[in-house]
Amino acid sequence: MSEFSWIDHLRTGLGGGLTAPMGIGDDAALLASTAQERVIASDMMVEGVHFDRRWSSIADVAYKLYASNASDILAMGASVSGWLLSVALPADTTASAHEAWIDGVRAAQVHWGEAPLIGGDTTRSPSGLIASITMFGEIRDHLWARSGFKPRQRLWIDGELGLAAAGLALLTAGVTHDDYGVIAQHRRPQRWPSALPIGVRAGFDVSDGLSQDLMHGARASDCAMVIDTPLPGAERLMAVIAAHGGSLMPDRPIGAASDEHRAAAALVDQWQLAGGDDYVRVIAADDCPGEGWQTIGYVDSAPVALYDERQGARCPLKVGGWDHFRHDV
């Protein structure tokens, strides 16, 4: 398939019926002016860094790239309204891989919201697949800013944490199937259904590990963040360890059941607080913002810090998460 038949294929499959100048086909796409405020974000995936072709198909990669971008848009209090796709494709990319791109994106749109592809760029990659989406969206009520958190507000989350990290741990340990959906969540992050809250002005996307993303919110809002409730997903992850503990924790303590439980709980904490790839949102609100939102803690006054009060007493919460340029990982 040539570059131009690939672009044509994308336009037909994902272009939402738009033609140039509003869609694919001219030097740039025209954006109509609207009364709504718009947000724009960009997220890239690189083979060998963000995905491993042994464990993720092309369709999975396309799905996840769309989901990660949509997650950023939703975390601004916006809904997805259009996107651009830039790809560097290895020379041996086949027509079935082109088909897989469309299938993966379509599957992601079911969970994450549908919007037309209006442009992009295509080039050859000397090795490995690189793909980036630039996505824009329209604010639905108010902007959810990282800097909008206020002391005494509760923190609410719209999905489970740590699943994708557990899925990756299973795959890395050679386990290719689980009954808990964690491998599926690593490959194709689903979005848990949640009501669109009204009146919210603070929020962020959790994609690099809850503790790290909480810290970004704390810094931007000059406040402390406290977790005081078991995190959603913890029970499911304990069940994953009960089923696959031998593969996941080859050096786990043998003997007292309480030691084993403690080691499992520590691993669950690691996945939930520092795992990454969760693609859920944390927002601030005084009361429950609606169906699908669970509380995990509260905002406290400055200085900037993270605390864990899940056992009652206040302890500092260690910041951990994904950082591409950290050398000690």
For residues 189 and 279, what is the distance between their CA atoms, to the nearest angstrom?
Answer: 7
Number of other residues whose CB lies within 10 A of the CB of residue 194: 20
Between 23 and 320, name the residue whose CB sits nearer to ligand ADP.
23
Stretch that binds Mg ion, among 90-98, 119-127, 270-278, 304-312 (CB under 5 A): 119-127
3-state secondary structure of 289: coil
Taking the complex as a whole, the smallest distance from the CB of residue 122 to Mg ion amounts, in Å, to: 7
Between 121 and 323, name the residue whose CB sits nearer to Mg ion.
121
Taking the complex as a whole, the smallest distance from the CB of residue 121 to Mg ion amounts, in Å, to: 4
Taking the complex as a whole, the smallest distance from the CB of residue 134 to Mg ion amounts, in Å, to: 13
How many angstroms separate the first and last alpha carbons of the chain?
A: 40
Partner that binds at residue 119, options ligand ADP, Mg ion, none, CB closer than 5 to 8 Å by kind? ligand ADP
Between 26 and 121, name the residue whose CB sits nearer to Mg ion.
121
Ramachandran area for residue 25 (φ above 0: left; ψ -120 to 50: alpha; else beta): left
Query: In this structure, is the dihedral angle defined by the CA atoms of residues 71, 74, 79 and 84, taken in order, positive or negative?
Result: negative
> Scanning the structure block, which residue is given the tokens 């997903």?
233
Is 222 a binding residue for Mg ion by CB under 5 A? The answer is no
Tell me the C-alpha to C-alpha distance, in Å, between residue 89 and each of 47, 102, 129, 131: 11, 15, 5, 8
Partner that binds at residue 259, options Mg ion, ligand ADP, none, CB closer than 5 to 8 Å by kind? none
Query: In this structure, is the dihedral angle defined by the CA atoms of residues 188, 192, 198 and 200, taken in order, positive or negative?
Result: negative
**Which residues are at the interface with ligand ADP (CB under 6 A)?**
7, 10, 24-27, 85, 87, 117, 119-122
Is 3 a binding residue for Mg ion by CB under 5 A? The answer is no
H-helix segments, 75-192: 95-112, 163-172, 182-187
Partner that binds at residue 10, options Mg ion, ligand ADP, none, CB closer than 5 to 8 Å by kind? ligand ADP
Between 27 and 328, name the residue whose CB sits nearer to ligand ADP.
27
Partner that binds at residue 26, options Mg ion, ligand ADP, none, CB closer than 5 to 8 Å by kind? ligand ADP
Partner that binds at residue 7, options ligand ADP, Mg ion, none, CB closer than 5 to 8 Å by kind? ligand ADP
Between 122 and 125, name the residue whose CB sits nearer to ligand ADP.
122
Asked if 271 and 240 touch (Cβ cutoff 8 Å), the reply is no
Stretch that binds Mg ion, among 115-123, 143-151, 186-194, 232-240 (CB under 5 A): 115-123
For residues 288 and 295, what is the distance between their CA atoms, to the nearest angstrom?
Answer: 8
Stretch that binds Mg ion, among 30-38, 52-60, 81-89, 117-125 (CB under 5 A): 117-125
Q: Which two tokens stand for residue 47?
A: 């083979």
Nearest-10 Cα torsion for 193, 15, 35, 202: 30
Taking the complex as a whole, the smallest distance from the CB of residue 29 to ligand ADP amounts, in Å, to: 6
Is 121 a binding residue for Mg ion by CB under 5 A? The answer is yes
- Contact residues toward Mg ion (CB under 5 A) are 121
